């Protein structure tokens, strides 16, 4: 079974002015698509991988196969972590758990932003369910909370290709803009 590039859950211009259609053309259409193509190439050459789900490949593989499988999964999750008209403060169960784990939404937002902007090199900032509480973690390169036994709730891609067209090397400005897109409904659904 070949993996396919998932459609974006919104139009390419729907995240403007925070993330441009041009960025999504490159990020989704080129980068994400390349990971899907590479993953299919690996899977087509190894019959033992046939029928494995993307999550299984992320949890059980290593090296280049892992890098491509995890990047396909991470990017798909990232697209759903945002929505047009998103942002604001969380509601529902995710709001309650953020308050319980971090003391307040503002404390959580400050911690998440610090992790996202302070991450060295390429990677991801995540809000995860870790046991009964929530935590903010970062992963390097294609790293995924799936390999750490944690449940991803939200992610912010901090690879330069996520923001360079719109923000050049100003990652902090990108992270600040990302907060206007956060999809709290998606985070609640992951709980």
pLDDT, tens digit, 9 for 90 and up, residues 88-146: 999 999 999 999 999 999 999 999 999 999 999 999 999 999 999 999 999 999 999 99
Res. 148: pLDDT tops 70: yes
SS (H, E, C) the chain: CCCCCCCCCCCCCCCCCCCCHHHHHHHHHHHHHHHHHHHHHHHHCCHHHCCCCHHHHHHHCCHHHHHHHHHHHHHHHHHHCECCCCCCCCCHHHHHHHHHHHCCHHHHHHHHHHHHHHCCCCEEEEEEEECCEEEEEEEECCCCHHHHCCEEEEEEECCHHHCHHHHCCCHHHHHHHHCCCECHHHHHHHC
Backbone angles phi, psi at 181, to 5 degrees: -120, -5
Using only C-alpha atoms, the chain has a radius of gyration, in whole angstroms, of 16
Which pair of structure tokens corresponds to residue 11? 């139009």
**Predicted pLDDT at 90:** 98
Whole-number pLDDT of residue 1: 66
Q: Which residue has tokens 């609640």? A: 188
pTM beyond cutoff 0.85: yes
Closest CA to 144 of 117, 126, 162: 126
Using one digit for the tens of pLDDT, what is the confidence trace for 35-61?
A: 999 999 999 999 999 899 999 999 999
- CATH of 92-190 given 3.40.1550.10, 3.30.1490.20, 3.40.50.300, 3.55.40.20: 3.55.40.20
Query: What is the tens place of the pLDDT at every residue in 169-184?
Result: 999 999 999 999 999 9
Domain residue limits, the chain: 21-80, 92-190
CATH number of 21-80: 1.10.287.990
């Amino acid at each position: 079974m070949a993996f396919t590039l998932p459609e974006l859950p919104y139009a390419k211009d729907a995240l403007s002015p925070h993330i441009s259609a041009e960025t999504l053309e490159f990020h989704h259409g080129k980068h994400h698509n390349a990971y899907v193509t590479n993953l299919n190439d690996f899977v087509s050459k190894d019959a033992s991988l046939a029928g494995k789900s993307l999550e299984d490949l992320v949890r059980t593989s290593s090296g280049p196969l892992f890098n491509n499988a995890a990047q396909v999964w991470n990017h798909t999750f990232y697209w759903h972590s945002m929505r047009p008209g998103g942002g604001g403060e969380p509601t529902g169960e995710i709001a309650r758990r953020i308050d319980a784990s971090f003391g307040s939404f503002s404390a959580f937002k400050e911690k998440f932003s610090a992790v996202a902007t302070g991450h060295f090199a390429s990677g991801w900032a995540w809000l995860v369910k870790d046991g009964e509480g929530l935590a903010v973690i970062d992963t390097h390169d294609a790293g995924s909370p799936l390999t750490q036994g944690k449940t991803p709730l939200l992610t912010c891609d901090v690879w330069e290709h996520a923001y360079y067209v719109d923000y050049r090397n100003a990652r902090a400005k990108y992270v600040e803009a990302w907060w206007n897109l956060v999809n709290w409904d998606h985070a609640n659904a992951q709980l």
